[in-house]
Amino acid sequence: MPLSDLFAPVKLHIPDGFLSPLVSVVGWVLAVAAIAYALRQTRGQLGSKQIPLMGVLAAFIFAAQAINFPVAGGTSGHLLGGTLAAIILGPWAAVLVMTAVIGVQALLFQDGGLLVLGFNIVNMGVLTAFTGHFLYQALKRMLGTGRSSLLAAGAVGAWLSVIVGAMATAVELAFSGTTPLGVALPAMAGVHVLIGIGEALITVGALGFIFATRRDLLDLGEKAPAKATANWVGVGLGFALLVAIFSFAASRQPDGLERVAEDTGFLGTALDPNYKLLPDYTIPFIGNELLSGILAVVVGTLVVFGIGWVVARIQAKSAA
Amino acid sequence: MHINLADQHHRGSSLIHRLDPRTKLIGTLLFIVAATVLPPGAWLPYGLLFAASLVVAQRTGLGTGFALRRSFVALPFALAAITLPFTVPGEGLARLGPLTISAEGLVRFASILIKSWVSVQMAILMTYTTAFPELLWGLRALRLPPTLVAIISFMYRYLFVLADEALRLTRARAARSGAGADRRRTGGGVVWRGKVAGGMVGNLTLRAFERSERIHDAMVARGYQGEMRMLDTPHLHDADRSALVGWVTFLAMTLLIGFVF
Amino acid sequence: MATIEIHDLKFNYPDGHPALLGVSLTVKPGERVALVGPNGAGKSTLMLHLNGILQGQGQLRVCGWSLDNGHLGQVRAAVGLVFQDPDDQLFSPTVYEDVAFGPLHMGLPVAEVRQRVDRALRAVGMSEYAGRVSHHLSVGEKKRIAIATVLSMDAQLLVLDEPTAGLDPRARRGIINLLRELPQTVLASTHDLLFVRELFPRMVIMDKGRIVADGATAALLADQALLEAHGLELPR
């Protein structure tokens, strides 16, 4: 590992040991579900081109992550690639491409652990792809399909995708008892507000180039299958993001959810010498509304995902 | 970043090298699960796991220190857990300004680092004793979706090609990154540099796409219709079975020690 | 002051394979020198040392700068390295941006950048191509633009890797005419011995990481045995 890696922007690849067993398992469940769905979706979309196209693009993302640019004082900006992949290929294919990249990084280079790989895939593959995709599509609808609109949409999508991935990482670390949420969330989100700019710049540069040379490649992502499902997933994420932002800004008065948590002893239990599978929240938060805010995010996201899934299935069944 | 994408696999004929990749994958994963599940402060089990990794390292013929030397990869991430000594309530050990360092916090912090460190070592040993195609074969045999495995396999094949192209692009950029008379203005601004990097990435995207189209044409020319056929998967050998049984027994005992004592 | 001064340069690849086994070379300002030899002789490797992309052991001064003193920025402004594959050289969306990259990186004011780009494109005869996308051009056109990308930096030394490789006769003639007009010091590696005979008074033969001959082109090209020994053939 070169010395420069120590000064590189905080990477989102979580190593083994930093997430609790329960959180790791949840991560795997989510990742497997996303991958399975993605496999089904993309087979229909790409046919026999599926494997060579996604394989080579996975190699591309991997290689592209090495093209960095100096930012300041020895640090450099570089690409994660989830949004770019989602814009070019559509979100589900992007999930597969990023899974391949992140999986191999973990297997071959120990960049990220194996047990925690589930959430690494979710954070850096699924969340980034869908956040980027949804924002890109939404902004395109608002701004039009001219060159500058596409670039602006891509920039915002890329920027936010990194922040969302970072926030998710922070939440997972907090739920594992590794880092208090009040430290992790602002730190990760804050840092990635800056790092996301690098992602946005490179994504925009790439999109501009592709727009100028082979615009038809951008259309490939447009025709991505089950756009309805993808949009619902995007809506869920957008909702979650909004709630997260609001919970940050929320007042410091304990709300109902938190009162319940206090009453049931969920908060403030003493650290037991014997290990519990569920980590305790004796870690003092900067403000307890953060916990309730995050719980709201999680609950809200699950609810919207659930609705979206059901709706999409109903739509699919009625269309079939 | 990993510009030097030399195959990590170190050739050898040790017992470990010759194990079925499935055995190694499962063994490594179980090891990491055991490490993760152990409670904080379970020093004896941690020591046992560490000893096990040393023994395995020695048996690979790569040297006991092999994985050790390469295991500090996750070091920067240690920062994520650095708050633990200060935030976990418990018996105070020392003060650092307004913050108190607690024994429990230190224990938690050290435990996470040790678990992570030990897990990485086992993962390294698995990687370095298994050729990547074998690793993929093992994953496929363990029921990973064949399409995903095929995608990874293609990615690996073209990784070097595209990484090479990326390297040449960055060299071309370096070659024209001259310093002007005014040193302060050299470099052209962060936003510009970002856009240049983006253009290079876009360039690479195009090359990747066009290459994949050529590859697809070549595959179709040889009868490909979308299914990756693979040869049959043989059963595990006796050596693998006994190795797995022994390994699981060892891990179970370690866990027992960790939870009971 | 010599433009290139190399004493006993040695370089091994990361995997240990030796690429340069002690190369010494002096090139004076304004000279035109051709570097010939079989593939794998170390020509490209040597060229990559001239702007610090590779760093070996031994003494190396280029355009008055010593590369081990951290003067990479100045060196890269003074040395225009043109890669063999123009696709590697042209990494920007448009021709204009590629030619402008060098001066922009040097921090020059926009007006001067524009001037330099126009001058460079005119020098290679590609002024009308400024707005084009490099990706879609022919090999010959790309090679000219690649040369323009280093001319815009006002490089004193041009280092060209196989400038005529892959070109049809017309494009090749265009490159030869172009190079004939340029006043800079030129070091070019090539397999094209007719090109060498036409444009380069001095020839250096490399083989297996060493320089095996260095002298007047006419004399060396007349030495059949020497050419054969190092895998070179002069078309009759």
Helix (H, G, I), strand (E, B) or coil at C12: strand
Strand partners, A75: A72
Which residues in A lie closer than 8 A to residue B132 (C-beta atoms)? 108
pLDDT tens sequence across C3-33 = 899 999 999 987 778 899 999 999 999 999 9
Give residues with Cβ within 8 angstroms of C211, minimum separation 6: C23, C24, C25, C204, C205
Is there a contact between A58 and B75 if contact means CB atoms under 8 Å apart? no
What CATH number has the domain bearing residue A45? 1.10.1760.20
Bridging pattern class, strands C185-189 and C79-82:
unpaired
Q: Work out the number of other CB atoms within 10 angstroms of the CB of residue B164.
A: 13
A261 touches chain B (CB under 8 A): no
Which chain A residues are closer than 8 Å to C135 by Cβ? Answer: 213
Inter-chain touch C133–A213, beta carbons under 8 Å: yes
A28 torsion bin: left (phi>0), alpha (psi -120 to 50), beta (else): alpha
Residue B4 has pLDDT above 70, yes or no: no
Question: Tokens at residue B151, please?
Answer: 């995608």
Mean pLDDT for B215-229 is 74
Answer whether B180 sits within 8 Å of C108, measured CB to CB. yes
In C, which residues are within 8 Å of A208 by CB distance? 93
Q: What was the pLDDT predicted at A287?
A: 40
HSE-up of residue C24 (Cα within 13 Å, Cβ side): 2
Q: Do C91 and B177 touch (CB under 8 A)?
A: no
| Of A99, A104, A172, A152, residue with least CA distance to A129 | A99
Please give the residue of chain B at the shortest CA–CA distance from A96.
Answer: B148
**Position B42 pLDDT exceeds 60:** yes
A31: in domain = yes
Q: How far apart are CA A81 and CA B121, in angstroms?
A: 28
Q: How many CB atoms lie within 10 A of CB A274?
A: 7
- The domain total for chain A is 1
- Enumerate the residues of chain C whose CB falls inside 8 A of the CB of residue B206: 135
**Which whole number is the average pLDDT over B64-69?**
78
CA distance A296 to A304: 12
Question: Is A4 inside any structural domain?
Answer: no
- Chain B contact for A20, CB < 8 A? yes
The verdict on residue A221 lying in a domain is yes
Residue B176 has its nearest CB partner, among C14, C108, C150, at: C150
Tell me the C-alpha distance between C221 and C232, whole Å: 9
A216 touches chain B (CB under 8 A): no
Residue with the bigger pLDDT between A18 and B87: it is: A18
Least CB-CB distance to B202: which of A1, A51, A206? A206
Confidence of residue B228 (pLDDT cuts 50, 70, 90): low
Task: Write out the residue range of the structural domain in which residue A182 sits.
Answer: 9-66+76-260+279-319
Flag whether pLDDT at B77 surpasses 80.
no
Reported ipTM: 0.84
Task: Please indicate if any CB of chain B lies within 8 Å of the CB of A204.
Answer: yes
Tell me: pLDDT of C84 over 90.
no
Instruction: Give the per-residue pLDDT at A252.
Output: 32
Q: Given this model, what pLDDT does residue A9 score?
A: 47
**Share above pLDDT 70 across residues of chain C, in percent, rounded to a whole number:** 99
Q: Which residues numbered 66-105 in A keep a CB inside 8 Å of some CB on B?
A: 66-72, 77-79, 84, 88, 96-97, 99-101, 103-104
- Cβ-count burial of C129 within 10 angstroms (0-12 exposed, 13-18 middle, 19+ buried)? buried
- Of residues A177, A210, A274, nearest to B205 (C-beta): A210
Q: Return the pLDDT at B1.
A: 30
Is residue A148 included in any domain, yes or no?
Answer: yes
Q: Do residue C135 and residue A208 have CB atoms under 8 angstroms apart?
A: no
Confidence of residue C72 (pLDDT cuts 50, 70, 90): confident
Which tens digits make up the pLDDT trace of C23-65? 999 999 999 999 999 988 999 999 989 988 888 899 899 988 8
Nearest Cα of chain A lies from the Cα of B241 at a distance, in angstroms, of 23
Q: Within a domain: residue A272?
A: no
Which of these ranges, A22-26, B179-183, B252-256, has the smallest mean pLDDT? B179-183
B99/A contact by beta carbon, under 8 A? no
| Cβ–Cβ contact A208 with C under 8 A | yes
CA of A212 to nearest chain C CA: how many angstroms apart? 7
Whether C190 shows a pLDDT value over 90: the answer reads yes
Backbone angles phi, psi at B228, to 5 degrees: -90, 115
Average confidence score pLDDT of chain C: 90
pLDDT score recorded for residue C116 = 94
Residues C94-151: tens digit of each pLDDT: 899 889 988 888 888 889 999 999 999 999 989 999 988 887 789 889 999 999 999 9
Q: Are C84 and C35 in contact (CB under 8 A)?
A: no
What parts of chain A have a pLDDT lower than 50? 1-10, 246-289, 293, 300-301, 305, 319-320
Residue A39's CB is within 10 A of a number of other CB atoms, namely 20
CB contact under 8 A, B172 and C91: yes
Q: What is the pLDDT of residue C22?
A: 92
Asked whether A226 and A312 are in contact (CB, 8 A), the reply is yes
User: Which of A60, A68, A71 has its CB closest to that of B190?
Assistant: A71
Is residue A130, in this structure, part of any structural domain at all?
A: yes
Residue A231 lies in a domain: yes
Nearest CA in chain B to C102: B176
- The minimal CB distance from A16 to the residues B32, B75, B201 is found for B32
- Nearest-angstrom CA–CA distance, A94 and A97: 5
Are the Cβ atoms of B168 and C83 closer than 8 angstroms?
yes
Task: Tell whether B226 is within 8 A of chain A (Cβ).
Answer: yes
Instruction: Please indicate whether residue B64 or residue A81 has the higher confidence score (pLDDT).
Output: A81
Structural domain includes residue A43? yes
- Alpha carbons A264 and A248: distance in angstroms, whole number: 24
- Asked whether the beta carbons of A115 and B38 are under 8 A apart, the reply is no
C136 touching chain A per CB within 8 A: yes
Q: Which of A282-296, B145-159, C163-177, C194-208 is the least confident region?
A: A282-296
Do A204 and B198 touch, CB atoms closer than 8 A?
yes
Q: DSSP code of C94?
A: B
Asked if the C-beta of B55 comes within 8 angstroms of chain A's C-beta atoms, the answer is no
Which helix (H) or strand (E) segment is C104 a member of? helix C95-105
Q: To the nearest whole number, what is the mean pLDDT of chain B?
A: 82
